[in-house]
Homo-oligomer: A and B are copies of this chain.
């Protein structure tokens, strides 16, 4: 049997079953970051994520600088998803020997730009050759910190909690669509808006900090949307042992997404529900606190927060409420790194 038959998440579960648990490990594999306890007030957050040419990016659809920025941004987003502060990055590059120095210079300039923007220091790394394979890989480990007791995990959602999301959904998937299927009929500014979100997602560090500052009695669980809303909601439900109901009509969709969806006759809710790489924060709030949370994030960061559903008992599974109040099971159609 090949690994593609198992898929990413089953494979991770298989490989990491029964891993060591220890007093100095607050949380191991299975969340956006590991939480490590070195005995001081600040806990350490650690995460790694890679970008592989031909799988996650191509030099045809992004500039080298954008590729560098995004490779760091997706890791910053994992720190954001715990409510932490990013601190240190280690950058591992696997490079085709024939790669032009100018391309690598630009990738690294993008990395450094993104790092500076979020006060993250590049403190280490590695360079290896990809040999005969002409595939460029950027693998980054990011370390951050969070105050003891303030990390927001995936597993804290309770029945009755309110489900919220930052920003808008599906823009990255729509932006990718305009890159893969160029069409002069898209208005220029619409396509630029969506492509920018796809190429250089903005990690929600400041928003995550506001949320973790509110305390785990208020914000009960959180992750970032990288695989797609349906898939990542599935991760949250699985780890919290709960179900959830998404209210389709409430999903925050940008005007730009609607414009492209109409133009190519694509269902915009498909992108919002299942499109990956939004890098927005999906989180749950204890009931009655939602307006306070929305106000806190919006007033501090200017980022919109939208209530999109609620947490149900586990036996209800994941459900989707249609505009006509019909309800159906929510199918997960999101990204699997091995199955595609």
Contact status B127-A11, CB under 8 Å: yes
Task: Tell me whether B104 and A3 are in contact (CB under 8 A).
Answer: yes
Cross-chain contact B3 with A97 (CB below 8 angstroms): yes
Contact of A338 among B20, B39, B44, B97 (CB under 8 A): B97
Q: Knowing A126-B48, A137-B137 touch, does A3 contact B121 (C-beta < 8 A)?
A: no
Q: Which residues of B contact A39 (CB under 8 A)?
A: 40, 42
Question: Is A124 an interface position by the 8 A CB rule?
Answer: yes
Q: Provide the residues of chain B in CB contact with A124, threshold 8 Å.
A: 28-29, 33-34, 46-48
A338 to chain B, nearest CB (A): 5
In the complex, how many angstroms separate the beta carbon of A249 from the nearest chain B beta carbon? 35
Instruction: Give the copy number.
Output: 2
Contact among B8, B87, B135 with A127 in the assembled complex (CB-CB below 8 Å): B8
> A126 and B49: CB pair below 8 A?
yes
Stretch touching chain B among A52-60, A159-167, A231-239: A52-60
- Closest chain B CB from A11 CB (angstroms): 6
- Number of A positions contacting B (CB below 8 A): 76
Shortest Cβ gap from A126 to chain B (Å): 5
Q: Which residues of B contact A295 (CB under 8 A)?
A: none
Is the beta-carbon distance between B139 and A130 smaller than 8 angstroms?
no
Judge whether A259 is part of the interface by a CB distance below 8 angstroms: no
Do B131 and A54 touch (CB < 8 A)?
Answer: yes
A101–B248 Cα gap in the complex (Å)?
38
Q: Is A95 an interface residue (CB 8 A)?
A: yes
Q: Decide if B123 touches A29 in the complex (CB within 8 Å).
A: yes
Q: Which residues in B have their C-beta under 8 angstroms from that of A28? A: 121-124
Binary flags per residue of A112-131, CB closer than 8 Å to B gives 1, else 0? 10011000011111111111
CB-based contact A29/B126 at 8 Å: no
Query: Does A214 touch B at the CB level, under 8 Å?
Result: no
Q: Are B48 and A141 in contact (CB-based, < 8 A)?
A: yes
- Residue A90 at the chain B interface, CB threshold 8 Å: yes
| Contact call B19/A121, Cβ cutoff below 8 A | yes
Q: Chain B residues near A122: list those with CB within 8 A.
A: 16, 19-20, 28-29
Contact A36 B92 (CB under 8 A): no
Say how far A232's CB is from chain B's closest CB, in angstroms: 15
* A8 to B11 alpha-carbon distance, docked (Å): 34
Task: Tell me, yes or no, whether A188 is within 8 Å of chain B by CB.
Answer: no
A-B contact pairs, 9 of them (CB 8 A): A3-B99, A11-B101, A46-B141, A47-B124, A48-B90, A48-B139, A52-B128, A55-B128, A126-B139
Known: A50-B92, A54-B133. 15 other contacts (CB 8 A): A2-B100, A5-B101, A14-B105, A16-B122, A29-B123, A34-B90, A36-B88, A38-B145, A39-B40, A46-B123, A54-B132, A94-B139, A127-B338, A129-B337, A137-B137
